[in-house]
Every structure is written in C-alpha cells, then in structure tokens.
Structure 1
Amino acid sequence: MEGRRITASPQPWCSRRVVAKKRKFSGSDGFVNSVKKIQRREISSKRDRSFSMSNAQERFRNILLQEEYDTHDPKGHSSMVLPFLKKRSKIIEIVAARDIVFALAQSGMCAAFCRETNQRICFLNVSPDEVIRSLFYNKNNDSLITVSVYASDNFSSLKCRTTRIEYIKRGKPDAGFPLFESESLKWPGFVEFDDVNGKVLTYSAHDSVYKVFDLRNYTMLYSISDKNVQEIKISPGIMLLIFTKNIGHVPLKILSIEDGTVLKSFKHLLHRNKKVDFIEQFNEKLLVKQENENLQILDVRNSDVIEVNRTEFMTPSAFIFLYENQLFLTFRNRTVAVWNFRGELVTSFEDHLLWHPDCNTNNIYITSDQDLIISYCKADSESEDTLSQANAGSINISNILTGKCLAKIKASNSNPDDNCSCSASCGGKICNSKKRAQASTVRSTVAEALEDITALFYDEERNEIYTGNRFGLVHVWSN
C-alpha cells in the first residue's frame, strides 16, 4: 500500500504530501482536506478468503458507540493563542498510535486523547501562533511528525517537528525537535512522507531542488536539481520523474528510491494538444490518461501497451494502489471500483455510495492486509425513518476483492435516545438506552454521531473505529 498526499485539489497520489499554501492564511479559510492515512505492512501469507470474510464479520459484529472526545476547549487555551484556534471547527484528520488518538481540527488545533483513561492528554500546538496542517505517525522511531505554519511567518512556510510518542503520553508535546530546517518549504514547496519506502521527499521551490531523506533518522540521502522536473511519483523501490511535456511526447525517468540512480530513461508518446489527465507509476506499470482518450497501461520493461476504452475507464478523482494485491482502487462520483493491470474491472462494490461527492478520502481506510475498505457512506432507506436519522450516514465495512458489504454501523432500528450502533447482522436489537448510560462521556446519539463525519480512522490493533465530525467531536466505535 502507499501512503498519502495532501494537495490543493483531489488528484492521484502515491505517497503523502503536504503543500505550502500560496495565499495568506485566514482564520475563516478551510485547510485542504487530508487524504485518509493508508498503511502498508509486509504480509508473509494470505489467509483463506472465506475465513478472512467470516473473521471480518465477527470483528465488526456488535460494534457500539463507546466514547466521545471533544477537541474544543477554549478555557484550556492560553490568551495568547490565535483567536480562530479557540473556535470550534470540524475534524480533518485522525491518527492513532500506542493507545493515543490524535485529532486535528480544521482550525489548526490538535489534541491527543488517551484510550486507557479516556482523558485529553494535551494539545500538540506548542507555540501560541502555531497552526498544525497535518500529522504523520512515523512507526520507524515511534514518533509523531506535525507539519505546521506560523503567524510569525505569515503562514507562508511549512515547518516540521517530530515528537516521540512517549513524551506526548507524559503531556510534553514541546519535547520534540524540528526537522528539515535547511529547506525552504514556501509555496509551491512541499514535504512528502513515504511510509512504504521509509523516505521523505522535500521540494524547495526557490531553487527547484528535490531532496530525499531517510525516515528513520532524517539524514539526507541525495538531491535532484532539474528545473524541467514537473512532478515526482513514488512507488515501492522507485521514483518516476515526469519532465516538462514536449510536442508529441513527455520525457520520463525511473530512479532508484534508495540512491537516486537512474534505472531507465524513456519518452512516452502523447496526442498533441490534449491535456494529460494523469500519469501514474505502479512498479513496472505506467498508467497514462489524456483528455477524451483511452487509458494506456504501459509495461516499462518491454514497452507493451494495454488500452482501456475511455467509456469503460473514465478519469477518477483519486487512486489507491494495493501493492500486495497488484490492484488499484479508483474513486469517481461517490463510487469505488477495483481494477487490475490488465485493464479489467475486478470489483464493483454493493451498497457502497460514498457520502462526500468530492471523494473525501479522509473518510476511507484500507486495512493493512488490503482486504477491507472502511468508508463513510450514504445510509440505505431504512435509516431515514425519522427526521433525526435522515441526515445520518453509515460506516460500511466491505471486502475489496468481492465488493460484498460485511458489516455496517448505522442508526436504523434505534430510537434517538438509544445508543444502538450494531452491524447489519445485529439489526440493532441488542442495544438499548442502558448501554448509553454506561458511557457517561457520550452525549451524542448514534444518529448524531453518524451525521456529517469528516474524518475516519481504524485502529487495527485495538479493533476500534474513530470518527470526527463538523463539531470537533471524536467518537469511538468498539465492541
């Protein structure tokens, strides 16, 4: 699997990128939605598919709304804090690590909560003028990297800081240290975290230099200085350099991610005067799509090309590459589809209409085995039997290879006062208001908690789903 990228508009990604904003930050401006974290682990063996499906159904059976955290605490902020940081705003990113849940609000305030005590540990903003843009958990050294902008810098440059999880647990978010201080990350500069290869890519716009760092110790490995490089795409073991388009072709280079050695240089022919919708690299496969043209899947080893008719494959809003399964997901018009690299549609999902029309992949999680997709979706008609439930979506857990919906967290078959959030197999019959009373921190009903979810994360170790909404609340769903 790949990491993720944050850009000014939804587009294909192969790792996680944070881009400096060109315009001055305003308290009322919305930050760019972050793409939901996609984690990848090495898998020694694949489980039997039927066992995997039944195991997944059991894992998500009888999931309940258990806890509620609030990131908004105006009394807890210093009077020196920027005024808009004190305002309640929606959650745009959730990351969990070592029993800590990190929730980032659109305002730029980030809070850490302990799952053992269900208490807020601290806010991660260590400076009164710090606005956190994004989070990244570095499993290589068990630390959290925050990417921020500052009022003192007119919110123009990205600044990175790493803090060990153990310090955050102690309530000492200021015990970390800055990263990449030598780099000028003003717009259109960026920093990109590649969890697959264990690398960091930075781009300093003022001198058009890309640099690759080791994610384990942050040492610089090599740099790429070429003003003709228009884009860099990262895949396992390699990088694709896309150069300025020439008449009738685009120059490309494939580099080793480890040392920057050029492995292959070639040109890909293009239709003249046609916009390039995307160029994506996946191992030895190159995906190229131009406006109103067929999708081309090029094998860079032998130059073989497979074409997929433009009526069958329309330009998606985003991709997720499934490296273990040699497949890729496409997102378009609230729907998800699975393709292989022969250009064949593998899966269309049943009962899986995404809630957000703009392909907000904040609300999507792919498990490390790459067998399940957890998404915030439109609820079925059953959930719309009351006015309070009409605005509630559902959290769907589906099998990627079959498209089958294995479980669903929804508000149907429950009264507004009940804490019912069972999977579809339960139908809400085992939940009642007594269970709600046991969770004293939960003030929202299930229907309210399922309204306008703006961020979603699944903790695979704890088997818990965390969701954030437009009110700055974080809800914990667990069995």
Structure 2
Amino acid sequence: MEKATVQTSPRPQGSKRVVAGKRSLPDGGRNSVRKLQKREISSSGNWAISRTNSTEKFRNFCLLEEFDTHDPKSHEFLRLPFLKKRSRIVEIVAARDIVFALAHSGVCAAFSRDTNKRICCLNVSPDEVIRSLFFNKNNDSLITVSVYAGDNFSSLKCRTTPIEYIRRGLPESGFPLFESESLRWPGFVEFDDVNGKVLTYSAIDRIYKVFDLKNYTMLYKVSDKNVQEIKISPGIMLLIYNRKEGYVPLKILSIDTGEVLKGFNHPLHRNKKVDFIEQFNEKLLVKQENENLQILDVRNQQLIEVNRTEFMTPSAFIFLYENQLFLTFRNRTVAVWNFRGELVTTFEDHQLWYPDCNTNNIYITSEQDLIISYCKVKEDPTDLDDHGVGSINISNILTGKCLSKIQATDKDDPQRWRCAGGARRVREALEDVTALFYDEERNEIYTGSRHGLVHVWSN
C-alpha cells in the first residue's frame, strides 16, 4: 500500500509523515520522507472573479533574489564530510518573513526576506542530518526531524524552535520533543495540522501514540499489534489491520479521543495484492491489483465501482476536503476526481517535470483552487530528459486552465527580467528545479535548485 502515500514538501496547514531509515547512507541518508498533504479549505464564491484575480496575482512574476544554502564558513563546525558539500534542495518552507531551505545533504539554512540575508544554519549538532521540516502554526515554531551519526542514522529525533529565536540567529534555543519514543525503523512521526495532532509509532513496542500539536501532551495510545497501518482524515483515524483470508478488518476512531466509532470488514479478492486503502471522511477508497476502484460509503455501505481501465492506480493522492474531490498523480499528469468515481478535470499544459510524482515540486493553495507545479515546456513535450529548463505553471484546479506561467523564452520582454540580471539567470534558475513553495501571504514563489540555490519569484 506504499503507492497511497504522497511524497511532498511540508506546507502550512498540511500533514506529513517522516519514517526512520533502515540503515545509514554515505550521502547522509536518503530523503525517504513520507508525507500526506491534507488541507482544510473554504468554499469560493464567484469562480470567474477568482480566476481573474488569480491571473492578475501571478502576472509579470520575475526573479527577485537568490539565496545559497552552501556556506563554507557556517559549515566549518559540521563534522560529517557530506554535510559540507553542495547538494540539491529537497524542501522549502516559509514562515512569517523567514524562508527555510533543506538540502539533500541534511543541512538546513534560514534566510530573512526582510533583509535578504542568511540568518543561520539550523544544524545545532556537528553530526546532525536534518531529514524534514514542519512549521507549527499553533505555537509559531519550526519542528526539525533529524538523524545523527552517533546511532548510525537509525533513529528520528524531533526538535522545536520558536521562529523568534531563529530570527535572532539562535537555533540552539529550541528543545527536543517525544524523547520517550523510540523512533527507529520502521518507526515514524506524523504531523497533522488539520486535526492539530502528532502521531508516532514506536517499532520496539509496536505502539502508536497521539499527541496534541499545541502543547505536545500525549492524548492516548493504540497498542493493538495487529494494526498494519493508520490513515488520518479530518476528525477520524482509519486503522487498517493485518489482512485476513478474503477480507481486511478496519476500524474508524475519533482523532480527538481514540474512541472506536465503527468497526467492519471489507472483502478482498483473495490472491491479489492491495494497491491502496484510503479514507476520506465517510468515503473509503480500495484498489487491488488489476481490479476496479471501490468507493465505499461507510455510513450506509453504498458501494461505487470505477472500471480499472478508467481509473488506474496513481502514484499519489491529494484530497480536497470541502470540495469533496481528490487529485491523482500518474505518469507526469494530474487529474481531478469526485467521490462518484467521475473524472472532473484534466489539466491543459500541465505535464509535470518529474515522472515519479515528486510533489516537492507541487503546491496546492489553501483555498484549494490553484495548483502550482514545475512542468515540462509545452513546446517540447517529447523531451523526457529530467535535466533541462522547465516552467512554473499556475493552473485552476476546477477548470484545468493554465492561468499563468513563469518561463524563460526569447519572446520574453527584457524589462521583465531587469531585476533578475537578465534572461540567462532566469533560465539557470528554471533549470532542474528540485523544490517549490508558494508563500500566500507575500505572494512569492520559492524554488530550489540542484546546486543548493533558492530563487525568489514575485511581481
């Protein structure tokens, strides 16, 4: 059921899971962050007005600034050789006026958008390899999830640091979280901003625990050793048990109290593997290999099936809560479905750059009306080489229309790139974009490159 998880960069109001690695790697540990993006949204009023405003908002975006995560002077105290090397950006998070950029090596740097200067390196230990970031809006702090050379990079350690301390250049002023939990592989920690909860799994005693994201107090635990997986939705948790002969046992729990709301068995084809099981409010999505997609309403057991030729197993989902829709990602394409099993939207001019659904290069706005992605250039759709110059496309989710794009072409007005130092630098900034984030408050897009650079785009 691995295909049901989304590989994505952390977002405000999002949910993400970080899994401990099996072993240490010479490059500082593979970035195997499992993240499931879930975001509450508000209904929009007039879509025509919204579409017009969105087009104007992204019109004439240009390259404003460039930050470099690689700083030999600040890296002098780092003990591990690979931490001192330049590497690609894998995550970008913006919080208040600060941009955080995490490199694949495990080095994380903070930059001020007010002064356009580097603030500090967030690695507070010489052997710390930061694996992931999460901005906790409940207490205005940044949570870093790290592994350390001291235990062969095998156990996750969490740390929270107030944004104000980072702004002052004092990342060491944070404090550790979940010290009582043994987060060795296959242990994990999952931050769920929608419900304001943290889910941990200790592989040693095989216990799941739920904490309050506001004050990190433990609320309850699930110690059933037959639980194979847990999926989180607004207000509920889905417990998926070890598969039985011909069915899989499932339970739905209240995310706030852990109370069992419903327990039932879902029938399965005996000799076929499960591609995914996903819970979306009252809807259960089940897909087995070479079988139809099943959409079950757990309230009344009403079942809808979608032919396997129409719905093929995607590599990732993103659920759109109030709109009762979900996005699927497969073979560089994005599609929008409803829970009647109907295809709602396909996107024009929106061929994703990465074939493996690297959703580090995808951002969904908090209104869930726009998708911002790093895409292939339409003029050369047959170019499937993952090294080259792409474009940043902004598209409407409900209509599939491309509203605007940031690209480097000879037809661009040179005045547009005046602040960027010319079209050449723009082209370089759009080459091999490895991470993308949109700051909705500042109306700025941040992109990361394979050289460890962060570029700021705005109008």
| Fold conserved between structures, TM > 0.5 | yes
Query: Which of 408, 412, 420 lines up with 2:409 in the alignment?
Result: 412
Quote the Cα distance in structure 1 between the aligned partners of 2:417 and 2:37. Answer: 35
Question: Quick check: 1:24 aligned with 2:4?
Answer: no
Quote the Cα distance in structure 1 between the aligned partners of 2:15 and 2:455. Answer: 27
Quote the Cα distance in structure 1 between the aligned partners of 2:381 and 2:24. Answer: 42
Query: Which of 449, 452, 456 lines up with 1:469 in the alignment?
Result: 449
Cα 1:113/1:80, change in 2 over 3 Å: closer
Question: Quick check: 1:392 aligned with 2:389?
Answer: yes
Once the two structures are TM-superposed, the CA of residue 154 in structure 1 deviates from its matched residue by 1.3
Cα 1:433/1:88, change in 2 over 3 Å: same
Aligned twin of 1:226: 224
Cα 1:46/1:316, change in 2 over 3 Å: same
Q: Is the 8 A contact 1:394 1:409 kept in 2?
A: yes
Cα 1:170/1:443, change in 2 over 3 Å: farther
Map residues 272-311 of structure 1 onto 2, 5 A cutoff.
272-311=270-309
1:468 alignment partner AA: G
Quote the Cα distance in structure 1 between the aligned partners of 2:185 and 2:59. Answer: 46
Moved more, 237-246 or 390-399: 390-399
Once the two structures are TM-superposed, the CA of residue 433 in structure 1 deviates from its matched residue by 5.9
SS of residue matched to 2:355:
coil
Quote the Cα distance in structure 2 between the aligned partners of 1:176 and 1:402. Answer: 44
SS of residue matched to 2:291:
coil
SS of residue matched to 1:102:
strand
- Aligned-residue sequence identity (percent) comes to 73
Quote the Cα distance in structure 2 between the aligned partners of 1:302 and 1:433. Answer: 57
Map residues 179-198 of structure 1 onto 2, 5 A cutoff.
179-198=177-196
1:470 alignment partner AA: R
Query: Which of 84, 90, 99 lines up with 1:101 in the alignment?
Result: 99
Once the two structures are TM-superposed, the CA of residue 33 in structure 1 deviates from its matched residue by 5.8
Once the two structures are TM-superposed, the CA of residue 76 in structure 1 deviates from its matched residue by 2.0
Moved more, 180-189 or 150-159: 150-159
Quote the Cα distance in structure 2 between the aligned partners of 1:105 and 1:17. Answer: 18
Cα 1:444/1:165, change in 2 over 3 Å: farther
Once the two structures are TM-superposed, the CA of residue 34 in structure 1 deviates from its matched residue by 6.4
Quote the Cα distance in structure 1 between the aligned partners of 2:365 and 2:269. Answer: 38
2:413 alignment partner AA: K
Query: Which of 319, 330, 333 lines up with 1:332 in the alignment?
Result: 330
Quote the Cα distance in structure 2 between the aligned partners of 1:193 and 1:478. Answer: 30
Query: Which of 407, 413, 421 lines up with 1:429 in the alignment?
Result: 413
Quote the Cα distance in structure 2 between the aligned partners of 1:457 and 1:97. Answer: 11
Map residues 141-180 of structure 1 onto 2, 5 A cutoff.
141-180=139-178
Aligned twin of 2:439: 459
Cα 1:407/1:368, change in 2 over 3 Å: same
Query: Which of 392, 399, 403 lines up with 1:402 in the alignment?
Result: 399
Query: Which of 215, 225, 229 lines up with 2:213 in the alignment?
Result: 215
Question: Quick check: 1:15 aligned with 2:12?
Answer: no
Once the two structures are TM-superposed, the CA of residue 47 in structure 1 deviates from its matched residue by 2.5
Cα 1:149/1:214, change in 2 over 3 Å: same
Q: Is the 8 A contact 2:19 2:188 kept in 1?
A: yes
Quote the Cα distance in structure 2 between the aligned partners of 1:208 and 1:436. Answer: 53
SS of residue matched to 2:327:
strand
Q: Is the 8 A contact 2:65 2:420 kept in 1?
A: no
Structure 1: stretches of 5+ with no match in the other structure: 1-6, 415-427
Alignment coverage as a number of residue pairs = 450
2:434 alignment partner AA: T
Once the two structures are TM-superposed, the CA of residue 26 in structure 1 deviates from its matched residue by 1.8
Once the two structures are TM-superposed, the CA of residue 436 in structure 1 deviates from its matched residue by 3.2
2:335 alignment partner AA: A
Scaled by the length of structure 2, the TM-score of the pair is 0.94
Once the two structures are TM-superposed, the CA of residue 121 in structure 1 deviates from its matched residue by 0.2
Q: Is the 8 A contact 2:408 2:423 kept in 1?
A: no
CA deviations 1:187-221 (Å, max 9, x no partner) are: 00000001110000000001110000000000000
SS of residue matched to 2:405:
strand
Aligned twin of 1:418: none
Aligned twin of 2:10: none
Once the two structures are TM-superposed, the CA of residue 351 in structure 1 deviates from its matched residue by 0.6
Cα 1:293/1:433, change in 2 over 3 Å: closer
Cα 1:347/1:443, change in 2 over 3 Å: closer
Cα 1:59/1:153, change in 2 over 3 Å: same
Aligned twin of 1:65: 63
Stretches (4+) displaced over 6 A: 382-385
Once the two structures are TM-superposed, the CA of residue 391 in structure 1 deviates from its matched residue by 1.9
